[in-house]
Amino acid sequence: MVKGSLRGPGYSNWDAAVERSFPLYRKTNLQFRAEYFDVLNHTELGNPNVSNPISSSTSFGTITATQGGPRIAQFAMKYNF
User: SS in 3 state form for 40-55?
Assistant: CCCCCECCCCCCCHHH
**Can you give the pLDDT at residue 61?**
73
78: Cβ contacts below 8 Å, ≥ 6 apart: 30, 31, 33
Global pTM exceeds 0.95: no
**Can you give the pLDDT at residue 69?**
77
Q: Establish if 4 belongs to a structural domain.
A: no
Q: Establish if 54 belongs to a structural domain.
A: yes
**Can you give the pLDDT at residue 8?**
75
Split into its structural domains, the chain has a count of: 1
Residues of the chain with pLDDT under 70: 1-6, 51-57
**Can you give the pLDDT at residue 3?**
65
Give the domain extent around 46.
Answer: 15-80
